[in-house]
Structure 1
Amino acid sequence: MGVPEPESGLGLLYLKDALGRMQGVRELGEGAMRQLRLEHWHAALAEGENSVAVLVQHLSGNMHSRWGTFLEADGESGSRNRDAEFEDAGLTPDELWQHWNAGWEVFLGVLARLRPADLTRTLTIRGEVHTVLEAIQRQIAHYSGHVYQIVFLARHWLGADWETLSIARGQSGEFNRRMQAERA
């Protein structure tokens, strides 16, 4: 065993960054979902593809399964029915928001409690051994991918009514000037 990493080391920097980035991913998804009309939540681009509702169901189910008993049990809880997450349960937007918030609270709550020494601990997900760092990286990629699917669908359904969640087209120069002025 090596020397324990101080609370100000690379591990702490990583955990703070992971937490901040995933809070940003959550906010991005929320910005997209706030723009949806009722008919958009359950609309899919084609038969068998995911709607925003299905993506929310899946994200919430995964977050509860992976992080609800983090480091205590296999990262695939026995009570989880993953296949059902991909079947539209017909939930209302309010119910979907409840699932969204509950899942993110579980995930972000665990991230906020982790310490650098935890990063090298091991856990299993579906019987596969991961370090905590690997598990976090796995979920960062997974959750970000699905949130970007939500953004894509919202933007597609809203068309010209879409309100950008980043720098608007043609506004990069102005944005950069404003950022430089704020730093000066």
Structure 2
Amino acid sequence: MPDTQSDVAHLYLTDVRTRMRNLKALGEGALVQLTEADWHTVLSDGGNSAAVLVQHLSGNMHSRWNGLRHGYQAGLDGETAGRNRDAEFEDGKLSADKLRGVWDGGWAVFLETLDHLSPADLTRTLSIRGETHTILEAVQRQVMHYSGHIYQLVLLVKTLRGDGWQTLSIGRGGSAAFNASMREKRP
């Protein structure tokens, strides 16, 4: 008899791994359009630059997921004691190359953790700032969080590039042609 709960958990993990890799690629599609100076540009007082968004995402990914990187461990806290979250929102004026390394490092931790999670892990618990979450809840919390910041990044870069923006999705006026090409690909 099939284990429906395990099947759903497996489907969820497969889907979230794919979607988060696609989200990373979306962010990278925006980042490659930045000039060196653009990395540190904010659109308004109190706003975040691309550099700050990258620093924050990476800091969060390291804090939340490094302890689970090689599989579940009971008693884990997803807010590491050494994290300085406030410093993530201060532009360290790192070069574009260093910021790409920060980006890659954070995503490596998060994606490796997703790859090591098993369906059974999703109902296990961890703490984030003293609040208990199932692994499923913690993953979903971060899916929302990371998506929000990636779309901030896309808007920031799109605004900075103006007419030079290279779209990361279906371009305006291109829906009919895109839909037709998708239909042609179907058997």
Same fold (TM over 0.5): yes
The 3 A distance-change label for structure 1 pair 45 and 104 is: same
Number of aligned residue pairs: 182
1:112 aligned residue = 115
Matches within 5 A, 1:9-158: 9-70=7-68, 71-72=72-73, 73-158=76-161
Moved over 4 A (4+): 4-8
Instruction: State the one-letter code of the partner of 2:126.
Output: L
| Offset at residue 7 of structure 1 (A) | 9.5
| Offset at residue 39 of structure 1 (A) | 1.7
The 3 A distance-change label for structure 1 pair 64 and 178 is: same
| Offset at residue 5 of structure 1 (A) | 4.5
Distance in 2 between residues matched to 1:46 and 1:173, nearest whole Å: 36
Distance in 2 between residues matched to 1:129 and 1:96, nearest whole Å: 32
Instruction: State the one-letter code of the partner of 1:42.
Output: H
Percent identity of equivalent pairs: 56
Distance in 2 between residues matched to 1:81 and 1:67, nearest whole Å: 16
Counterpart contact for 1:33–1:154, Cα < 8 Å:
yes
Distance in 1 between residues matched to 2:119 and 2:5, nearest whole Å: 7
Distance in 1 between residues matched to 2:185 and 2:173, nearest whole Å: 20
Root mean square deviation, CA, Å: 1.7
Instruction: State the one-letter code of the partner of 2:98.
Output: E
Distance in 2 between residues matched to 1:114 and 1:69, nearest whole Å: 12
| Offset at residue 8 of structure 1 (A) | 6.5
| Offset at residue 46 of structure 1 (A) | 1.3
Instruction: State the one-letter code of the partner of 2:96.
Output: P
Gaps (5+ residues) in structure 2? Answer: none
Distance in 1 between residues matched to 2:130 and 2:118, nearest whole Å: 24
Counterpart contact for 1:120–1:133, Cα < 8 Å:
yes
| Offset at residue 69 of structure 1 (A) | 1.1
2:184 aligned residue = 181
Instruction: Determine helix, strand or coil for the equivalent of 2:67.
Output: coil
Distance in 2 between residues matched to 1:112 and 1:14, nearest whole Å: 12
1:165 is aligned to 2:168: yes
CA offsets 1:141-172 (integer angstroms, 9 cap, x no match): 00010011110000000000000000000000
Compute the TM-score of the two structures, normalised by the length of structure 1: 0.95
Instruction: Determine helix, strand or coil for the equivalent of 1:68.
Output: helix
Distance in 2 between residues matched to 1:21 and 1:31, nearest whole Å: 15
Distance in 2 between residues matched to 1:38 and 1:93, nearest whole Å: 6
Gaps (5+ residues) in structure 1? Answer: none
